[in-house]
Amino acid sequence: METLTRLYIKEIVSRHGVPISIISDRNSHFTSRFWQSMQDALGTQFDMSIAYHLETDGQSERTIQTLEDMLQARVIDFGKGWEKHLPFVEFSYNKSYHASSKTAPFEALYGRKCRSPVCWAEVGDVQLTGPKIIHETIKKIVANSTTFESYKRSAKKLRQRKAKAFGILNWRSCYVESITSKRCHLIRKARKA
């Protein structure tokens, strides 16, 4: 338990401060007495989401799906060495524009645009020494950014197709229900007469 507390303080509290509230699914890790007592001690409100209720934590579910897709792309591209690319995946995600917040997570958190070796090359800033590592870093960041942008475009198309299909199906079911209820009403009227 002490290790978990230290890890939480090191990775979350030291970087972002103590959260005001946490919305979580009903995972056993988050429902334990230890976790709840720690959040009480820190003054964090702890809310549980309802299963399959996207209005509660839909944004986090969407973020998780995006990160899973990005990681899956890295596994496909790099096989066994994918874990070496985790910092680059995180970096690409944090510097990418998000339509929901109308900014990149990095910019929202720190109030400034994120600088990267890709930006240095684009604006002509002085390159750091050790060109091999810089070129490798640039290649990895560009690859991750390209994959992420491609993913965002395809995900948007898929969402639009699903929304359109749902709208058509919903309209059809309403139309069928409307016709069916009218027929039932006419049949009942005919039987009474």
Q: Tell me how far apart the alpha carbons of residues 86 and 96 are, in angstroms, rounded to a whole number.
A: 15
Predicted pLDDT of residue 113: 79
Whose structure tokens read 């709840």?
36
107-124 as b/e: b if 16+ CB within 10 A: beeeeeeeebbeeeeeee
Predicted pLDDT of residue 13: 85
Q: Tell me how far apart the alpha carbons of residues 82 and 65 are, in angstroms, rounded to a whole number.
A: 18
Q: Are 116 and 91 in contact (CB under 8 A)?
A: yes
Q: Where in the chain are the domains?
A: 1-48, 52-166
Predicted pLDDT of residue 126: 47
Q: Tell me how far apart the alpha carbons of residues 26 and 44 are, in angstroms, rounded to a whole number.
A: 17
Q: Pull the structure tokens for residue 15.
A: 């970087």
CB neighbours of 96 closer than 8 A, spacing ≥ 6?
104, 105, 145, 148, 149, 152
Rounded mean pLDDT for each run of 10 residues along the chain, 193 residues in total: 83 85 74 81 80 64 81 81 82 83 82 70 50 68 69 72 58 49 55 59
